[in-house]
Structure 1
């Protein structure tokens, strides 16, 4: 199947997944996966008993230093809008290649809203190669496993081993960390590499025809390329799309995000067991789930509680969120309810997803969007930030290969082609995960649980309804080489 056909199929799947609340029609994916085979019993979809060989990843998990990467033949002056995770990752990746990079950020100081964030191997492999190890290692936790639990009693129905399996197979650790710590670590690395980060200097206008920014104070800044990593509410996206924005769509769900002080958990054996093993625990049930894990060196316990919601976020009252949250999970595992009762403050967030865009680039090839501005997704694969890191790494790789300014538009189009399909399929995979987790009790839910039985019994079959455990899906998600894929696409474009 050619690129255009793959992308059209992906778009159709994302549209379908967003248009229906339930799982009707959930039968196939446009990305490599066998996680839906339990819904498609046929001779062609019997479980593969011989798992694919492990990926020969280039990076040792203990890696904390970095090599000097291929330097750009043509150093450019690059302006980046946004100092979130995507903007900083892109700045670091570009600066390491020898480009002059300036980041403009509206906020007067950095401090990401949110709590815990998962950093999977496809992202940590890049971040550690950038040299982030010494900056972030004091703040990270490495979960041993991801355990799926039945909603009503917490019994284990799915199990993905992260240590040592993921580290050995994908060449990098799987981290959980407080989002603010990750952002500040990336910020410090960027400064140490020579990136100029201008806080309190937001962008007022983007130029569709030139690599030019007009800042909120009226100053005009000119470079060779503008990269807008200005988030899910991106102003640059509208400019890139010719004046008509394609806003992210409501996915029909919202999430409560909360942190629990682990000191409150230690005295109760019904919840303290969650601290004994740094695992991620995920309770799944009808249209709802709860993800939990420790962060901040075990001092805080991160919780994300997803539930259906079609109401207008402007009508939400955060002061009543805690009580509303408890109502959503009445009747669930009593141990989980004890944990939920320890939450005294929470924020409710709408879950949004984009549909793959037709372009990330203005016709002039001077303004490019990436990260959440280009591909917002629901957090059910925990890869939204990882995709932004991949974006930055791929862009830096491909710009290091051009030898003249005349090649810049072509290089950006090649980058765009590779990344739109990759991130579009990840938007799809994230929505599929939500469908897989949210079955109501019944025949298909039992089929799903049966399709994960082997991993619970520690029998490695290689195929699973659990996308983290299915070998094909996991290799595609976590073994992906963003720099290598960009390089190969450029070489193929040039007949290499």
Structure 2
């Protein structure tokens, strides 16, 4: 099939590699003139890891990632560990931690190697929902036709309104995040800071009212990344959801006022700059595709979620894998059956993604509004052994049954089960 992908971000590049490796003719159009790999830490949960490994990317992932052993909840002022949340035997595949920059660069290389036609500096004027062969019209007048178009152009998608027939805007929160990255050279130049920030590879979350920091040391890449969240205030009037140039001095002043622990303040003082973004999510949409079913919203353009479940990219990987599975299931008839395939894909994927979105928002509320731990809980280790736990998407958040469903989900297996259960109807 001929597939056009709008956007060369994480979702677009992942889809491009996935479908090109299967022999499809894939074109990616990106309005920027070059690859844009900015960003901070990126979590890839076991459900997505299983898929990426099945695509042959395990060596590439190991070269840029390390496994997440635990989550440590800390007090923002003292830096002390309040609780350790240890998940054991969640899955047979790793819960990877890497950096967005490295992931995008790796996916780009793999997509090019698989034969993807990458076209930078190409802005889309409109998408046309032709029943037989939809097409993309570029600003320069070029018309590109395809069997299927995937709009992976992000939360502020310019094509979403054309696809759905009406404009739907994101729900923007009052929380602004500022991301910094420190190299090993910077970190180890300050021995006190190095000991505090690099003695584990866990996800560390420092919390106080209306303030949280998510930080992690990546041993493989020798980089520490920190996401400094602030609720209710920002360094200046927010002009966009994401800005490459945040005001690092403003962030330093804010965290000084919070009497922040020395290691985090040292990290902020050492950072040369920061990017910034406002937390936002897409409302649940009735569907993710055009009337013909041949133009499809993918990733954040369809279901952007808050980052505090570390599931945004993983949901994109799962969705791409399910779409690929359904197309392969249709074999030589896939091109004619795209509308049917897309309807089935939405039916399979929407319940999981919308439940994960609720979980991510719940986590954000916990980070900014709840004390880290009572005095009786300080230093407590919360071990969750998932070996014999039955997954349950409707269980309470943070229950072992729900955590099992979140982490050890086989999206392709679930899709296959759906096909088998609905064979006569499909």
TM-score, structure 1 normalization? 0.75
Q: 1:459 to 1:351 in 2, by over 3 A?
A: closer
User: For residue 357 of structure 1, what is the aligned residue in structure 2?
Assistant: 285
User: For residue 148 of structure 2, what is the aligned residue in structure 1?
Assistant: 225
How far apart are residue 307 of structure 1 and its match? 0.9
> 2:358 and 2:157 mapped to 1: Cα distance?
21
How far apart are residue 178 of structure 1 and its match? 2.3
Gaps of at least 5 residues in structure 2 are none
Q: 1:189 to 1:379 in 2, by over 3 A?
A: same
User: For residue 58 of structure 1, what is the aligned residue in structure 2?
Assistant: none
Please state if 1:488 is matched with 2:417: yes
> 1:317 and 1:110 mapped to 2: Cα distance?
16
1:268-308 Cα shifts (integer Å, max 9, x gaps): 44321222332221101212110111237353211101111
User: For residue 159 of structure 2, what is the aligned residue in structure 1?
Assistant: 236
How far apart are residue 203 of structure 1 and its match? 2.2
> 1:199 and 1:217 mapped to 2: Cα distance?
13
> 2:375 and 2:51 mapped to 1: Cα distance?
33
> 2:418 and 2:302 mapped to 1: Cα distance?
20
Please state if 1:339 is matched with 2:254: no
Which of 110, 114, 117 aligns to 1:193? It is 114
Please state if 1:477 is matched with 2:406: yes
Which of 168, 172, 178 aligns to 2:93? It is 172
Task: Report if aligned partners of 1:151, 1:285 keep a CA contact under 8 Å in 2.
Answer: yes
Secondary structure in 1 matching 2:348 = helix
Q: 1:469 to 1:161 in 2, by over 3 A?
A: farther
Residue correspondence of structure 1 range 78-97 to structure 2 within 5 A: 78-97=3-22
RMSD: 2.9
Q: 1:451 to 1:245 in 2, by over 3 A?
A: farther
Aligned residues: 408
Task: Report if aligned partners of 1:258, 1:346 keep a CA contact under 8 Å in 2.
Answer: yes
Task: Report if aligned partners of 1:78, 1:100 keep a CA contact under 8 Å in 2.
Answer: yes
Which deviates more, 146-155 or 89-98? 89-98
Secondary structure in 1 matching 2:85 = strand
How far apart are residue 184 of structure 1 and its match? 1.6
Instruction: Please identify which structure carries the higher strand content.
Output: 2
How far apart are residue 446 of structure 1 and its match? 4.7
User: For residue 154 of structure 1, what is the aligned residue in structure 2?
Assistant: 79
User: For residue 182 of structure 1, what is the aligned residue in structure 2?
Assistant: 103
User: For residue 253 of structure 2, what is the aligned residue in structure 1?
Assistant: 327
Secondary structure in 1 matching 2:225 = strand
Secondary structure in 2 matching 1:390 = helix
How far apart are residue 440 of structure 1 and its match? 4.4
Task: Report if aligned partners of 2:65, 2:221 keep a CA contact under 8 Å in 1.
Answer: no
Q: 1:449 to 1:199 in 2, by over 3 A?
A: farther
How far apart are residue 416 of structure 1 and its match? 1.1
Q: 1:213 to 1:322 in 2, by over 3 A?
A: same
User: For residue 256 of structure 1, what is the aligned residue in structure 2?
Assistant: 178
1:324-377 Cα shifts (integer Å, max 9, x gaps): 212332213233323332223112211111111011111111211110110111
TM-score, structure 2 normalization? 0.87
> 1:256 and 1:159 mapped to 2: Cα distance?
25
1:89-141 Cα shifts (integer Å, max 9, x gaps): 22222233343222222223213221222222122211111112233432223
Residue correspondence of structure 1 range 400-411 to structure 2 within 5 A: 400-402=328-330, 404=333, 405-411=335-341
Secondary structure in 1 matching 2:283 = coil
> 2:322 and 2:177 mapped to 1: Cα distance?
31
Task: Report if aligned partners of 1:91, 1:392 keep a CA contact under 8 Å in 2.
Answer: no
Task: Report if aligned partners of 2:176, 2:277 keep a CA contact under 8 Å in 1.
Answer: yes
> 2:378 and 2:217 mapped to 1: Cα distance?
28
> 1:415 and 1:133 mapped to 2: Cα distance?
26
> 2:171 and 2:43 mapped to 1: Cα distance?
23
How far apart are residue 314 of structure 1 and its match? 2.2
User: For residue 438 of structure 1, what is the aligned residue in structure 2?
Assistant: 368
Q: 1:110 to 1:226 in 2, by over 3 A?
A: same
Task: Report if aligned partners of 2:243, 2:277 keep a CA contact under 8 Å in 1.
Answer: no
Task: Report if aligned partners of 2:201, 2:218 keep a CA contact under 8 Å in 1.
Answer: no
Q: 1:484 to 1:425 in 2, by over 3 A?
A: same
User: For residue 344 of structure 2, what is the aligned residue in structure 1?
Assistant: 414
How far apart are residue 423 of structure 1 and its match? 1.6
How far apart are residue 449 of structure 1 and its match? 8.1
Residue correspondence of structure 1 range 25-424 to structure 2 within 5 A: 76-161=1-86, 165=88, 168-210=89-131, 211-242=134-165, 244-273=166-195, 274-295=197-218, 297-309=220-232, 312-314=237-239, 321-329=247-255, 330-402=258-330, 404=333, 405-424=335-354
Task: Report if aligned partners of 2:11, 2:317 keep a CA contact under 8 Å in 1.
Answer: yes
Secondary structure in 1 matching 2:67 = coil
